Every structure is written in structure tokens, then in C-alpha cells.
Structure 1
């Protein structure tokens, strides 16, 4: 059955027009007629899925939900491996797993942070706060836990071994802390806020070493580091993502790299690949975008979720993306062969075309493959205004 009406089909559009519940093949992959990116949908949550991560060498996915549960999924089958429940009494805002895979941290709107043993599923300790806990993270060395708080606009750093408080930075921001995370060196905590600012708090100096006020034009919803710790990406409700050179401080003189014209709504989440070559983002427009920061293909927009995307992650081998949504599902995308999609190849071809400067208006313009650089020296607007525009060659017939 064709799509309803005369709607033009995006080759990357994974919306299912055939029936309400997409059919699945024997391996659990959705039979999505118009998609060229394979997708498996992980169902089972009773409410929005708030965070997701690859773990156990990319063989598992860990997710948390507003239904107060944490689930561990098998990547190869899409089946539920383990259910963590019965501890939180309100939506879980975020979950994270330690690099040694032995411990898990969860934060919740029940005003608690819990530290779990992954093998037994038991809670080792619980911290109670005065306000909702919006975010949590474990340092790469597994020694510390950081929590981001709502009403107190604070970050709290805790010793993971004994739950003792290392630092409580009250009013660290002027509004709710939306996301907080450790840098890969385990020395600084990055936090972003509804106050539109970015702050880096140093564990050794016990002070804020970097503060970027008005970093975005709206609420900053997420932040993440590259594995080498040099760059920090921030996602914002202003529909943009920005990449800041944190280690060298180059952003002070040159500003951040701005990624826009991707999401049509607020950008809600972001994640780097291990090598920093890919950046994944999700938004309120229900889309997942992966940005190729090195190649000319630039970005690929993936559609499929029925509500806004709350978190994204990418596997170490860059073959898989997982996204979770307010629609109660996770989607596992196989992007291994995405460069073969005709639309992406065409986009790459166009971006690889040379850009030259118009000799008349001095503005840059794209020189298409069929253009002769020896003849085309003016942009299309100047050529159209010229009475001699008919001397320019036409594109070859196909």
C-alpha cells in the first residue's frame, strides 16, 4: 500500500504507512517499506524512556524510564535481559553504568540517587535530596558520582564507594541543572542549565574554572565530551548544537562550532562517537540526526519515533545508534551501510563540489559537477541579471 495521499517519501523516512503496528521479521527487525536504514523497536516500557546507553562491549543497551524501571536489553535479539524495579517511586530521569560494568547509578524525581550492583540488582546506597534529581553521571574511573538538582540549582559530587559527600555546590546555576557529566580525565564536571549557561567545576581546585553565560539563545538541555576531553557539545532548545574547544580554550577567540539547520524543534540530547568523528542528536521534532564532523556528507536525519527523542547513544564501532523517546520505545538503528543510501551519496556529491567566489557580487556559491569553472565565474543571481546569460552552458541532458 502506498503512503496516504500524494505525500513525497523521504528515503530516510521510517514512518510505517502500511499499518499501525509495523510487522517484524523473524529476527525482530521492522518491515518498514520505505526505510533504507534497518531499525529494531524495543517495546515494553509503560511510559517515556528517559535515557539509553550501550554497555558490555556493545552487546547490551541500558535504559531508564518514567515508569520507574531500568531495563537491560540484548542488542542481537532485542529481548529484555534484566529488569531493575521496585526501588524508585517516581520517574527515573537518568541512568549510567560504570566503565567496569559492575555498578549503575540512577536519578529520580522521587528526589533520590541510587547506586546499584549490576550483578545482583541490589541497591548499595541511596542519597536523599530536597529537590528533584534531573541528571546523574559516574566518573570514568568509577570513583565519583555527580547529581544535578532542580530547585537548588546545584550539583552534588559523591564518593561512589561510601556515598560520602565530596562537594555540594548550591546555586551553581541560576536555574535548573539540566545535565551534568564528568570529563574523561575525571577532574572536572560540566553542567548545563535552563539559565543558558555552561559551567565546568574543578574537583581539585574546588571552584568553577570555566563559565560560559548565554552560551545558547534558549535552555541548554544536554552536554557531552569527546573521549579525549578536548571538546564539549551542548544541545539547546534554540534548535542548535554547539561544539566548544574546552582544552585549548580556542572557543574564547573563535567561538564554538555551530550545527544548525538540522532539527526543526528543540535539540534535546547529544552523544559523540569514541573517535569524535560522529555526533548524534535527538530532538523534539521526533528525529534523530547523526552529523559526520569529518566527511562532506555532513548530516543524516532519521525519522521513526512518534514523540520527542529524549536520549541517544552510538556504539563504539559506529555501526549502531540507539535512541529513546517519550513514545515509550527505544529504537536500534543499523547505520553500518548508510553511506550507500542514494540520498546521502547525492548530498555528499553536492557538498564535495567546489565553492568559488562570484566575480561580480563577491559572494561564494556552489559550483556543480556539470559547471565549467573556466566559464562559470558568477553566481546564479548575477547570471540571471545579465543580458548575456544565454551564453552559459546548460546542464547536460540525462
Structure 2
């Protein structure tokens, strides 16, 4: 009996050892093939794509370590797709939608899930089609002012263009509203502004630091005051709390009922949770952008340091810090489920972070040629749009399965036996990569 138990345990150990040792082999193969596809020159378009596609197949079907290889697979598939159907006349890869004549500062979606809007320092706002990305965009607004950013009202009917030192404008998105209302301009210079969720009012921070509520037919109301420079405002849809990200690295907040409170930086800790105002020093790095999770429990804070702070709203405390960017985080957004976080940066990349598993590396989107200033999930949550200082707007599918499908739809051959032996290995049985 004892001998039988020992024999069983030995067999189990050998089996476990074999399974364990096979995992790195598949992982290493996937990563090696992905890297070889990435470094392959663009003129070997089909071979580049087929190697990336076969690596994806091994990744999906094999027992592969998930925390590293998904990034390699995504980048290889993307790079291969970039050269499939490349527009050599206009010099556009498949995901380059088009461009402004200057820096792209914001992209936002409205009521129509097939359309989105972009703004630029060239003073123009364009409306683009998701289903027909090469369609010439419609000019929604044009001026000689530098557009710092744009925001969309909750109902998707009003665009707010925030100008650099020139106030702001409210622009109806529907043609009949444009004809009836026209463009409403507020000439008072502001640091930044945002819409109040569910209301036809907006909140702005004046150059003097006054937080002012205004509306189409409502009297202006002073609801707070700050001594700090505010880069972005965010209003909590659930309780109306106003959050301000400041250049001094302080997160400020005004809770309802709003009261006018001074907030000099030296009094931040003393004022903590007094009445309707609180402020919290998060270090000396400027807070550039904010977003609130769909469940209202977490505030994502993008900093000049290149990291993101996740802030527990109910408990008013730090959850964790996400690091990865090499320069300022310029924009930040949760997806509709709240499990993904999109960040853009002056390091020239956008990144998609999986918030359900901190060990998982982000997907890095690095094809912009300059600072990336803006990014947004589309309403379906399957794509993102980015724009930046290279003047281009780009679209990025989130699921690598889209890239894999596109490769096999555009290529009518498979790896040859010789190519298989070189890039996969003769010890692995040959298989068809893209069907018969």
C-alpha cells in the first residue's frame, strides 16, 4: 500500500512538473513571435501579419502566462494591422482618422454613438463619423480663439468650448437648436469649466478663483472660492460635490450646500472636512485631470508626475497609485463598467489599465508622434479615440480579436512550411493560420 501511494505521488509530481515546465515554453513562444513580428520591416506586410496572428492563436488557445504576453500580442497585432491597407498617397495608417491644422485638445461623444467631436488650438470643432472614419468631418464651430478643451452636456445636446484666456462658448449640437439658439458666448476669462450633471447649468473658475454657477436663463451664483490654480473640475453626479485638481498638487472639494470658502494652501489641513470645504495635499506634483468611477466611489487623479492616484471618495483616503507614464498625465477616463481606465500623456502614449488586476500590464498605444492630450472610450466600450500635438486623431480597438479578424479578412495566404519552421519551430506541428 505504501509503495502504491509513493508511486501515485511520484506520478503526480512528474505530471505537475511537466505541466509547469510547459507553461513558460508557450509563453516564451508567444512573446518571441510577437517581438519578431514587431521588428519585421513594414514591406513584409503579409508575413509580419501572419506571424502576429499565429502568436495570437497560441496565446488564445495555449496555457499562457497572462500578465505580460497580452501586451506583446496586442502590440504585434496592431503594428501588423497598421500596414495592411496603408494609404500611401495620404500617408495614413488604417486607424488615422484625420487631423486638425494644430494640436488636438479634446475628443468627446454626444447623443449619437456613431459621432464624436474634436477640438483644436486652431479654433475649430469637428464632428466625425465612427462608422465611416475617412469621411470628411463636419465643422461644428470655428473661431480665431484657442480652444483649450471641450465638454459635452449629459444629454449630448450642448458643447462647451473653453478658450484660453477668452471665456467660453455654448454650442448646440443639433441643427434646429443652432438655428434657434445660436452660439452663446460667455466672455469672462476662466481657468476651466464643466457642466453640472443633469442640469442646464455650468460651473466655471474665474481667473480670480471664484467658482461661479451659471445657466442659460439662471442668475450667476458664487458657490466657492480658491486661492489655487485649477486645472480641471469634476462634479459628482450622485451628491453634487465639486472636485478641483490644482497646480499645487492639492485636491479641493466643495460639498452641498455650497458655501464660499477661502482655501489658501497653508490652511489645507486645518480646513480638512470643515463645513462644506475640504482639501488634501497629494504632494507637490500638479493635478492635471480627474474622473469619477461609474459607481461614484473612486476618483481617478492624473498628475504631472506621470502617475494616477485612485482616491476613495466615501472614506476620503488613498487607495493606490498607478505608475507607468514617463511624463504628465493629460487626460483620464473610466469606461462605462468602471473596470478599465484610459490615460493619455505627454510621453506620447495612451494606456488602458485593467483595474480588476493590478498585476496586469497596461495596453500601451504609442503611435502618436508627439504629446497625447486627449482620449475617450466610445459608448460601446470597444474602442477609444485619441488626439494630440501631432494633430492626428486615432482610433484603437480594445480587444485584440478585432485585429486578428481583420488580418485574416485581408490576407489570402498562410505561412509556408519554411516560414513556419523559421518563426514557430519544426518541432511544433504545422497548422493553418487563417483558414483554407
Q: Give TM-score scaled by structure 1 length.
A: 0.71
Provide the aligned length of Structure 1 versus Structure 2. Answer: 316
Equivalent residue number for residue 221 of structure 1? 288
Are 1:127 and 2:186 an aligned pair? yes
Equivalent residue number for residue 188 of structure 1? 241
Give me the CA root mean square deviation: 3.2
Kindly provide the CA deviation profile for residues 219-276 of structure 1, in whole angstroms up to 9, marking residues without a partner as x: 1110011122221111011111011111x2151xxx232101x112221110001121
**1:1-398 mapped onto 2 (5 Å cutoff):** 2=41, 12=75, 23-24=86-87, 31=93, 40-78=95-133, 79-86=135-142, 88-120=143-175, 121=178, 123-129=182-188, 131=189, 133-149=190-206, 151-159=207-215, 161-162=216-217, 164-167=219-222, 169-170=224-225, 172-174=226-228, 176-185=229-238, 187-206=240-259, 209=276, 211-246=278-313, 248-251=314-317, 255-260=318-323, 262-295=324-357, 297-337=360-400
**Secondary structure at 2:100 match in 1:** coil
2: CA distance between counterparts of 1:95 and 1:288? 19
Tell me: CA distance 1:15–1:195, structure 2 relative to 1, closer, same or farther (3 Å). farther
- Aligned partners of 2:330 and 2:373 also within 8 Å: yes
* Structure 2: gaps of 5 or more residues: 1-39, 44-51, 53-71, 262-275, 405-426, 429-436
2: CA distance between counterparts of 1:192 and 1:263? 19
- Aligned partners of 1:71 and 1:84 also within 8 Å: yes
Kindly provide the CA deviation profile for residues 122-164 of structure 1, in whole angstroms up to 9, marking residues without a partner as x: 64422122x4x34332122033212244x424433212x3263
Going by fraction, where is strand more abundant, 1 or 2?
1
Equivalent residue number for residue 390 of structure 1? none
Going by fraction, where is helix more abundant, 1 or 2?
2
2: CA distance between counterparts of 1:300 and 1:80? 30
2: CA distance between counterparts of 1:3 and 1:186? 52
2: CA distance between counterparts of 1:300 and 1:99? 29
1: CA distance between counterparts of 2:320 and 2:260? 26
2: CA distance between counterparts of 1:30 and 1:335? 20
Deviation of 1:327 after TM superposition, in Å, equals 1.2
Kindly provide the CA deviation profile for residues 308-336 of structure 1, in whole angstroms up to 9, marking residues without a partner as x: 11111112332011111011111111113
**Secondary structure at 2:102 match in 1:** coil
Kindly provide the CA deviation profile for residues 67-114 of structure 1, in whole angstroms up to 9, marking residues without a partner as x: 11111110111134421234x432111112222222121110152111
- Aligned partners of 2:109 and 2:156 also within 8 Å: no
- Aligned partners of 1:216 and 1:238 also within 8 Å: no
Bigger drift between 95-104 and 270-279 goes to: 95-104
2: CA distance between counterparts of 1:52 and 1:43? 13
- Aligned partners of 1:117 and 1:124 also within 8 Å: yes
Tell me: CA distance 1:41–1:153, structure 2 relative to 1, closer, same or farther (3 Å). farther
Kindly provide the CA deviation profile for residues 28-81 of structure 1, in whole angstroms up to 9, marking residues without a partner as x: 9965xxxxxxx6222231111111112334211111110111111101111344
Deviation of 1:285 after TM superposition, in Å, equals 0.7
- Aligned partners of 1:267 and 1:284 also within 8 Å: yes
